Amino acid sequence: MKNIKRLFPIFDARPGLVYLDSAATSLTPAPIIDAVAGYYRELSANVGRGLYATAEETTVRFEEVREHTARFLSVRADEIVFTRSTTEGINLLAYILEDHIKAGDNIVVTALEHHSNFLPWKRLAKRCGAELRIVPFEKDRSIHPDTARSFVDSRTKIFAFSAISNVFGTANPVADLVRIVKDANPTILTIVDAAQAAGHTPIDVRSWDCDFLAFSGHKMFGPTGVGVLYGKSTLLAALPPYQVGGGMVLDSMADGPTYMDAPHCFEAGTPDIAAVVGLGTTIDFLDHIGIDSIHEYEAGLATLAVSALKKAFGDSIHILGLNDRRKSGIVSFTLDGIHPHDIAQILGDRDICIRAGEHCAAPLHRALSLPATARVSFSVYNTEADIEKLIEGLKEVRALFKS
């Protein structure tokens, strides 16, 4: 890990940068930047259309990334839909599942959810006259399977939840949650927001047995503008297209009309081909380092940070999440007497980048009666020296407010 930082060109341009906001967007290493630029330099053709050499090679490379992504998740290639982001993947589902929801049904989400896995279901419930049920988190800041099951009944159609909280950093027992709600109602569709999990912890979708899963490339060292939606092949085959247009139709003049099979019927128009090519290199990058090593390193830094923050600030700092041994690289906190936005602004002036606010997780913050929190999130390019600079910066913040 000591040599990985040199692969990220931003540190050449900004050598003093302390980047602690990877849960929002991770930095991008040179091999992935080169892969994106290489598409424009060497190919720059569309997919699934041209019969000339560069177009055919582009299509082959695009579909190879689909196969590579499927292996990354331990699923089939025809179960991988390319999207722009986790947000688009979940909104896609909320749109095409509308006929699945009737008045009097209910949709279950959790109080841990990012707005991207909360607002689409809230809007769908309102549109269909369904009830939106919110499962509370436990004292350990996770969702307990038995609690989730108590919110499920015969009219529950969807259970959507995150694999890792983007605020607490706690990991939910995905396989157990899926199993227990399916035991209560086998017809439930289970949807996992894996935005904070993909690229940071091992994912085996087959063992999780969820029906759908979504994640983004930009949170795992990849380009912006590309995401992945996984869906079980039997479910994708039975669902209507999300958008219609070029690249996903077989016969536009048929009464139907006749669309291509999944996953291509969900990919209307020209995709962000360069970003998909970059995603393929991203998965290579992750494989080379090893997901287990990444997980251990990021969680280890977060654990060290919690210890250092408590030692430096004692009872005046409040860490969200009760377990000092972190399950991810995410640590959120408040500091007595100082608004998180002020903390982030002052640290930012010192080139220490953290996040402040509700982190697009209003249900969680409202449950804790907190208007905002500060969040640091670690990645492979961070070191213990970054923790020391964070502590120094926070001491300066506190001294400024005391004065």
Domain map (residue ranges) of the chain: 4-20+290-402, 32-288
Q: Do domains 4-20+290-402 and 32-288 have the same CATH topology?
A: no
β-strands 352-353, 330-335: how paired?
Answer: unpaired
Identify which of 285, 351, 333, 341 has the alpha carbon closest to the alpha carbon of residue 28.
Answer: 285
Q: What are phi and psi of 296, to 5 degrees?
A: -65, -40
Cβ atoms of residues 141 and 322 within 8 Å: yes
Rounded CA-CA distance 333/322 in Å is: 11
Q: How many residues does the chain have?
A: 403
Q: What is the pLDDT along the chain (403 residues), one digit of tens a residue?
A: 778 999 999 999 999 999 999 999 999 999 999 999 999 999 999 999 899 999 999 999 999 999 999 999 999 999 999 999 999 999 999 999 999 999 999 999 999 999 999 999 999 999 999 999 999 999 999 999 999 999 999 999 999 999 999 999 999 999 999 999 999 999 999 999 999 999 999 999 999 999 999 999 999 999 999 999 999 999 999 999 999 999 999 999 998 899 999 999 999 999 999 999 999 999 999 999 999 999 999 999 999 999 999 999 999 999 998 777 788 999 999 999 999 999 999 999 999 999 999 999 999 999 999 999 999 999 999 999 999 999 999 999 999 998 8
Rounded CA-CA distance 400/398 in Å is: 5
Cβ atoms of residues 167 and 361 within 8 Å: yes
Rounded CA-CA distance 314/318 in Å is: 9
Name residues whose C-beta falls within 8 Å of residue 395's C-beta, 6 or more positions apart in sequence: 312
Distances (CA, A) of 346 to 210, 351, 360, 370: 42, 9, 22, 21
H helical segments located in 256-383: 273-289, 291-313, 340-349, 362-367
Distances (CA, A) of 236 to 118, 225, 239, 403: 22, 22, 5, 60
What pLDDT is attached to residue 318?
97
238-265: per-residue pLDDT in tens? 999 999 999 999 999 998 899 999 999 9
CATH code 1.10.10.10 for 32-288? no
Distance of CA 354 to the CA centre of its chain: 18
Which residue is listed with tokens 């996903």? 248
4-20+290-402, which class in CATH?
A: alpha beta
Cβ atoms of residues 264 and 246 within 8 Å: no
Rounded CA-CA distance 100/32 in Å is: 39
Name residues whose C-beta falls within 8 Å of residue 401's C-beta, 6 or more positions apart in sequence: 337, 338, 342
Q: What are the beta bridge partners of residue 19?
A: 353
Rounded CA-CA distance 157/350 in Å is: 49
Distances (CA, A) of 81 to 107, 194, 331: 23, 15, 31
Q: State yes or no: is 210 an active-site residue.
A: no
Q: Which of 128, 210, 265, 360 is catalytic?
A: 360
